[in-house]
Amino acid sequence: MISIKLDKKTRNIYFFIFIFFIVWICRVFLYKVFDENLPTPFLRTISSFIFKIIIWILPVVVYLKIFDKINYLNYLKLNINLKNGFIWSAIIIIIGIILLIMTLNLKIYQFTNPFQIQYSSVILIAPILEEITFRGFILNKLNEISSFWYANIMTSILFVAIHIPGWIIINDTIILYDMIQLIISIFLISIILGYVMHKSGSLYPAIVLHAINNYFSILL
């Protein structure tokens, strides 16, 4: 049976998540009127990176340092279990290389250059920022007030939800069938990312797996 204490700490966590989503929805609208009018993909990528730092990372660091008064690197699992994190990351990279070789041999890929600036951001930057916020902070926070699997499922639902405003507002040509497929795939990968972090005790394997997943999403 799921039990959640509705104390001050719990209310603060849910309030933080609520405000984060409101601010991010406003940011998505801002993308339409500001970022899309920037002249080059490079500038749009830099703008997106800066906004994500401000909206996703800074509030997490401030919350952990000021309200919880703890070492945020340790809490986010960026400075602990480094050996275990390295081993898990290495295994994930090896599996990724094997899958890439199989994919190239089968030639089930698109001829997209993943090293363009916008794709590099999706592969290298987005996984770091998103994992710090969702697996490093939100999942750990929810796990403080509930079981791991409840926290992981709720985090995955929230992780799906954070993508929906962009699909609707920015990519307004997406059809319902594609959106359902994206919802299912993102939810499942989020569950796996949460489990990987939980078992390894480190955020790095989740970041590596997220990056590999994004790479294959672009390649295929």
Q: What are the sequence ranges of the domains in the chain? A: 8-219
Residues 89-117, buried b or exposed e (16+ Cβ, 10 A)? beebeeebeeeeeeeeeeeeeeeeebeee
Q: Can you state the percent helix, strand and coil of the chain, rounding each to 5?
A: 80, 0, 20
Q: Counting every residue, how long is the chain?
A: 220
DSSP annotation of 37 reads G
Residue 1 has pLDDT above 50, yes or no: no
Which pLDDT score is estimated for 5?
A: 54
Percentage above 70 pLDDT, the chain: 91
* 3 in Cβ contact with 146 (< 8 Å): yes
Residue 154 has pLDDT above 90, yes or no: yes
Residue 150 — pLDDT band, cuts 50, 70, 90? Answer: very high
Residue 118 has pLDDT above 70, yes or no: no
Residue pLDDT, tens place only, 67-117: 899 999 999 999 999 999 999 999 999 999 998 888 877 766 665 565 566
The set of residues, in sequence order, having a beta carbon less than 8 Å from that of 48 and lying 6+ positions away, is 31, 35, 121
Residue pLDDT, tens place only, 189-205: 999 999 999 999 999 99
Query: What's the mean per-residue pLDDT of the chain?
Result: 89
CA 32 to centroid of chain Cα atoms: 21
Residue 56 — pLDDT band, cuts 50, 70, 90? Answer: very high
Is the whole model's pTM more than 0.95, yes or no? Answer: no
Summarize the confidence of residues 157-183 as an average pLDDT. 86
Which pLDDT score is estimated for 202?
A: 97
Which pLDDT score is estimated for 113?
A: 60
